[in-house]
Amino acid sequence: MANVNLAVIYYSSTGTNYELAKWAEEAGKEAGADVKLLKVPELAPQEAIDSNPAWKEHAEATKDVPEATSDDIEWADAIIFSTPTRFGNVPSQMKQFLDMQGGLWANGKTINKVVSAMSSAQNPHGGQEKTIQAIYTSMMHWGAIIAAPGYSDPVIFGAGGNPYGTSVTASENGMVEDVEGAVKHQAKRTIEVATKIKNG
Ligand SMILES: Cc1cc2nc3c(=O)[nH]c(=O)nc-3n(C[C@H](O)[C@H](O)[C@H](O)COP(=O)(O)O)c2cc1C
């Protein structure tokens, strides 16, 4: 059976979604996938980044993480997105990246990618589910196959019980819920579904 190519694509200002993405990367490798960890390009002006010490520090710490491109989407059999909530929606950085895939979409190259998504917000009910669903709406337009975790493993209940995708509360002191197991389960399930799609 051919290995699944997994792209873990994230946006993060202050590190939460980078951490979620790294857990997904780790689980993907453990599951035998070929994995790329990729960030979407930053759009915010440098003054905005510099005005927030946590943002500035995170941007510098992750400057060597490669940026996602259309080639990566074409390469991927499976994609896991991780993105913060911005006013109950995806950040412009992630939206811009999705919008830049119009050429691939027009050539049928987004069809049958197996996808799932994760999110964070400052509040426990700050819009994580809406953000994940916003990603999934675009994925329906791509003809992608959404592998939401549902309640496919007890670890999901311990992480807050979000069946759409792993989500977390991002406080000033870090993540409130322990979601590492849920992220890893979600990554493995995404690969499991993608393996079936890829190998027929
Ligand atoms: C412009 C803006 C809008 C935000 N909107 C929300 C929101 O609607 N609900 C919420 O709970 N948190 C909101 N937040 C907080 C972010 O979701 C939080 O900082 C993020 O999840 C942390 O992820 P990161 O560390 O990966 O950047 C907002 C933050 C910014 C800067």
Of all residues in the chain, what percent carry a pLDDT higher than 90?
Answer: 98
Q: Residues 23, 29, 30, CA angle at the centre, nearest 5°?
A: 90
**Residue 118, strand partner residues:** 82
Rounded to whole angstroms, how far apart are CA atoms 79 and 58?
23
How confident is the model over 35-44, as a mean pLDDT?
Answer: 98
How many Å apart are CA 169 and CA 87, to the nearest integer? 15
pTM exceeding 0.95: yes
Tell the residue nearest (CA) to atom 2 of ligand 1. 86
| CATH level 2 (architecture), domain 5-199 | 3-Layer(aba) Sandwich (3.40)
pLDDT above 90 for 42 = yes
Binding-site residues, ligand 1, Cβ < 6 A = 12-17, 84-88, 120-123, 126-127, 170
